[in-house]
Every structure is written in structure tokens, then in C-alpha cells.
């Protein structure tokens, strides 16, 4: 009983905090299904005459499936490239070789350069490569991330040396060592890398905004931002679109919650 009395203020504060965190979602969800005129005041707290027709409107107003496909393609490209390239680079950093210090210094200093500070030349370079407005061009700048390289390196460092030597004696090439010996032992690093690169590419807005021209290449966040510019706030369809864009992210987060939290914190503390 004493425990209970001590704990209820904590619960109260935390429930209030959760309330503040969740109410914005609810407000948008409510707007997206509410049948009343969205500008009637006072706004209803519970949706009046709920219906799903705003979602139908969105589906036909914009090429949602196309945006979704674009987002998926770019994300998948990024994730695959990230895992492969970062694992290779991370593995090399566990080995001794001439010039290792220079490479490390280079990586560490690259980490200080935020992508936002490179957009103009990045745009010009991508243009020179002829990759503007293509999936590859959208994904290329995010193909390898330094934080994840170090996550891989830390996880490879933990693999016992003797295992490596044994594999070498068995005649496995370095390439096979990475994939057959190291990767199965570095599942946590792979999960971290997949989640970080997914979040970065899925939510990325600025680079697609710069690097795409045609409607066909737009990704979901871009489609969402464009949707405001021609729909303004006058319809619940915008909020239905918002929910449709958020839903996959929330679903994935709830599915792989542990991995998400772990991945993001490892990414942050290592980086």
C-alpha cells in the first residue's frame, strides 16, 4: 500500500507526458476521419460522422503507390549498400595495414561534416555524374555511413582472433571470411545498420527535394510536402495522407521496437 501511494504522482506525470506526446497524433487522426467541415468551431474532440473518404480522395489525388514504391526502392538500395560497404570498411579497419591512421582520421573528420553543409556541391556533383532524378542518385550520398562503419568495427573486434586464423588456414578468402564468419556473429551491428539507414533514407527530405525533378521520382516525404502546396489546409485529405505516410513507420517501429531503440542509441553513442 505504501508503495502504491509513493508511485501515483510518478504515474500521473508520466501519463501527462505520454498524453502530450500522443495528442498531436490523435488530433490529426481525428481530422482525417471526421465528417464535419474541418473549419467548424469549436472543433469536436471525438470525430463526428466518421468516414474514410478522405483516404479515398488521397489515393486518387496523388500517385501514392508510386511515391511509396520510390521510397521503398531508395530505402532498399540504401540499406543493402550500407550493410555491404560498411561491413567491408569495418572489417578492413580491424586489420593492420599501412595508412590506417590516415583513413581513421579521414573518417573521423568526415563525421563532422553534416550533409546539409554539402548540398550545393553534392547537387552539382550528382548532376555531373548524370544521376539527378534517378534512384541511384537519390540513394548514393547515403550509401555508406561512418557511424555504422565504426559499429561494425567494434562488433568485428569482439570476434576472437583464433576464429579468424582458423578460417584463413581453412583457405577462406577475406571476402568469404566477412560473409561466412564475421557477419553471423555481428547480427546486432547489422540490425543497427539496417535501422539507421532505413530511418535516414525513408525520412530524408532535403536531398530528394533537391535531386528530383519529375513527379515520377518523388518519394513519400516529398509528395507530402508537395501535397500541402496545392491542397493547403482546406481538406481533411492532407491529414489522411499524413496518416498514410506515418502508418508504415509506426508499424515498423512497434514491430521492431527493441532493435530501434538499441540501434538508435548505439548509433548515437558511437557517433
Partner 1 sequence: MSLEEDLARPRWKRWLFNRFVLVPGGIGIIAIVWNAWVFTHNHGTVAGRVVDAKGAPVEGAEVKLWVFNFTTFVEQASTQTKADGSFEFASNPSHNIQLSAEKAGVGRSRIPVRLYFQSEDISLKRPLQLSAAETGK
Partner 2 sequence: MSVTAMDSSVARSRFTERRSTRKAVLIWSFLAPSLVIFLLYRILPLAWNVLLSFEAWSPLKPAVFIGFDNYREMFQDDDVFWQALWNTLGIIASAPLGIAIALGLALLVNSNIRGRDVYRTLIFLSYPLMTVAVAIIWRWMFDERVGLINYVARSLHLTDQPIPFLNSFTWALPCVIAANIWQMLGFYMIIILTGLQTIPGNLYEAAEIDGANSFRRFLRITLPLLRPSLFLCFVIGMLNSVTSFDLIYVMTNGGPGHATEILVTYIYKLAFNQTRFDYAAAITVVFFLLLLAVTWGANRLSGGNVGAVEYD
Scan residues 96-115 and list those touching partner 2 (CB under 8 A): 97-98, 103-104, 106-108, 110-115
Residue with grid cell 505504501, as numbered in its chain:
2
Is residue 142 within 8 A of residue 78, CB to CB? The reply is: yes
Query: What are the φ/ψ torsions at residue 39 (nearest 5 degrees)?
Result: -100, 15
Site for partner 2, residues 119 to 158, rule: CB under 8 A: 119-125, 140-141, 143-144, 146, 149-150
String marking each residue 44-63 x if it binds partner 1 according to CB under 8 A: -------xxx--xx--x---
In the complex, the smallest distance separating the C-beta of residue 91 from partner 1, rounded to whole angstroms, is 25
Which DSSP letter does residue 113 get? S
Least gap, CB of 66 to partner 1 (angstroms): 16
The entry of partner 2, partner 1, none that residue 206 binds, CB within 5 to 8 Å by partner kind: partner 2
What does 1 interact with, of partner 1, partner 2, none (CB < 5 to 8 A by kind)?
Answer: none
CA dihedral 88, 93, 97, 103 (to 10 degrees): 100
User: 171: alpha, beta or left, given left = phi > 0 and alpha = psi -120 to 50?
Assistant: left
Position 261 contacts partner 2 (CB under 8 A): yes
> Out of partner 2, partner 1, none, which partner does residue 52 contact, by CB within 5 to 8 A per kind?
partner 1
How deeply is 58 buried, as exposed, middle or buried, from its count of CB atoms within 10 A (0-12, 13-18, 19+)? buried
The number of residues that bind partner 1 (CB under 8 A) is 9
Where are any strands of DSSP class E within 39-119? none
Amino acid at each position: 500500500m505504501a508503495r502504491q501511494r509513493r508511485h501515483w504522482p510518478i504515474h500521473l506525470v508520466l501519463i501527462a507526458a505520454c498524453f502530450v506526446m500522443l495528442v498531436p497524433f490523435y488530433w490529426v487522426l481525428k481530422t482525417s476521419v471526421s465528417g464535419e467541415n474541418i473549419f467548424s468551431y469549436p472543433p469536436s474532440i471525438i470525430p463526428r460522422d466518421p468516414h474514410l473518404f478522405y483516404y479515398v480522395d488521397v489515393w486518387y489525388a496523388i500517385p501514392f503507390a508510386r511515391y511509396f514504391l520510390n521510397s521503398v526502392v531508395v530505402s532498399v538500395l540504401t540499406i543493402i549498400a550500407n550493410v555491404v560497404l560498411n561491413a567491408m570498411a569495418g572489417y578492413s579497419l580491424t586489420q593492420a595495414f599501412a595508412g590506417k591512421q590516415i583513413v581513421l582520421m579521414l573518417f573521423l573528420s568526415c563525421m563532422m561534416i553534416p550533409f546539409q553543409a554539402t548540398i550545393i556541391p553534392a547537387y552539382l556533383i550528382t548532376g555531373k555524374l548524370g544521376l539527378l532524378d534517378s534512384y541511384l542518385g537519390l540513394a548514393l550520398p547515403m550509401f555508406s555511413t561512418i557511424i555504422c562503419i565504426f559499429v561494425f568495427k567494434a562488433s568485428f573486434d569482439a570476434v576472437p582472433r583464433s576464429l579468424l586464423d582458423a578460417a584463413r588456414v581453412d583457405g577462406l578468402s577475406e571476402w568469404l571470411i566477412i560473409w561466412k564468419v564475421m557477419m553471423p556473429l555481428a547480427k546486432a551491428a547489422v540490425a543497427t545498420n539496417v535501422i539507421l539507414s532505413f530511418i535516414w533514407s525513408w525520412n530524408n527530405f532535403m536531398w530528394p527535394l533537391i535531386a528530383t525533378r519529375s513527379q515520377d521520382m518523388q518519394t513519400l516525404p516529398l509528395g507530402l510536402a508537395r501535397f500541402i502546396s496545392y491542397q493547403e489546409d482546406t481538406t481533411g485529405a492532407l491529414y489522411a495522407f499524413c496518416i498514410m505516410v506515418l502508418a508504415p513507420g509506426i508499424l515498423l517501429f512497434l514491430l521492431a521496437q527493441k532493435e530501434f531503440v538499441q540501434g538508435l542509441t548505439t548509433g548515437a553513442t558511437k557517433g
